[in-house]
Structure 1
Amino acid sequence: MKRQTKLVDCGTTVFVYDYTSTRNHEKHSFEKGSNGTITDFKRLFIKNFINENLEINLNFTLPLELNDLPNAQGIFEEFSTSLQDIFNQASVKCLAVLQLPLESSSNQPSIRIVTDIDYFEATKYFDPNLDEEELDRLLEERMTQLWGSQVFVDTTNEEMEVKSLVDVLTNTLLSPLCTKQTHTIFKSNLKRPKVLRNEKADEHIKRRNLLEFPRQSSTEIYNKVGGFIIVNIYSKC
């Protein structure tokens, strides 16, 4: 068996998986099924929304009715397109999660949306003397009026937001309302992480000087597909 390397570059964070196998596995067990859905979401979030600029961006929640669920993808697409017109941006990055209750009779479903719309740009036309709470209320009122139904707005720190949305996604995948046909992740104008293997991965490690990244961690996990894997994580944030 020979050493195999899979590298996933998410911008500010790079994941490197080293293992020994007779073949290079396309996906490991943690990249398949529900675990794979969560892993893919985390990578997309890091690639598109975690950066070194500590920006404060707008996030939205769209409440849904149960009979809206089959058209959740269409609702997301319409809303994400409307954001470009409302905030006069040529392109808006959006990553969203469907929030379903763990019990079918409790709570209202919704779509939780993260964007790259800058909070200060979005509120610059309001009275500068207003506090953040009042600005959020006015922004919610404006968004609700323009969208035509209730929209909630928040500006949670992105690192906290990814943890919150992973919890939401985990619960959604366990919900009795979630089926194989249910869209649980929605995306618009996002960049995919770069995936490299073996020699190309080694070259990329040297080119990006990963060993100079300020935050590094290493652990070993057992994977049903590739056996034991050493996971090295290099992060700038």
Structure 2
Amino acid sequence: MEEGQAPGADGEGAEETSDKQQAKKKGSFWKELPILLGVAILVAIVVRTWVVQTYYIPSGSMENTLQINDRVLVNKLVYDFSEPERGEIIVFTAPESWRSVMEEDEFIKRVIAVGGDHVVCCDEHGRITVNGVPLDEDDYLYTNPLTGEQDKPSQDPFDVVVPEGRLWVMGDHRSASGDSRERFVRTGGNVEASTIEVDAVIGKAFVLFWPFADFNWFSIPETFDDVPEPS
């Protein structure tokens, strides 16, 4: 051995050591992979169960805001810290009396009025009022793409004070939506049967993500800013 030369200085020992390290890293990766996959699956389950879930739109009751087969993301955690607000789009477990098929139990609608609100249809201009303030719903009510004709806010009159802990919800496609108005008419004005429990709400739809060309963040329409709290 020459003076000052360490073992493996010619590169052979170093190369052998490097090969062993790489082999060890590869072996370690394959051992850790099942753990990583397990953690990823667990995180996905936790997120889907308690935080965010995707939903597809099976009907035209929320047109033109949402089209059939659109995909939305729903925040399932938000209402653990707050109550649903007027104007929000929510997913909820529908009462059995609302369902045409028992297995189809999750509905998506817009909150029009909350507990304590006085919701009426219609004023002299055909508008729904909440606590005496008319709603300008032109931004989201269904418009027929062929005729350009917009749905009326309601085809039927109603005058309701929403019970505490319940919500008055309606689809944006009013002429094709099974909602609070429709149940009110069918039940002869039964307010309990026409509203849903706040506890039945699964979460708030906050973004349309598919088709990507129609990507859109949902916000509360400005018309609801003028609605006062119930007296």
Task: Decide: shared fold, TM above 0.5.
Answer: no
More helix as a share of residues: 1
Range into which the TM-score falls when normalised by the shorter chain: under 0.3
**Which structure has the larger Rg?**
2
> TM-score if structure 2 supplies the norm length?
0.24
More strand as a share of residues: 1
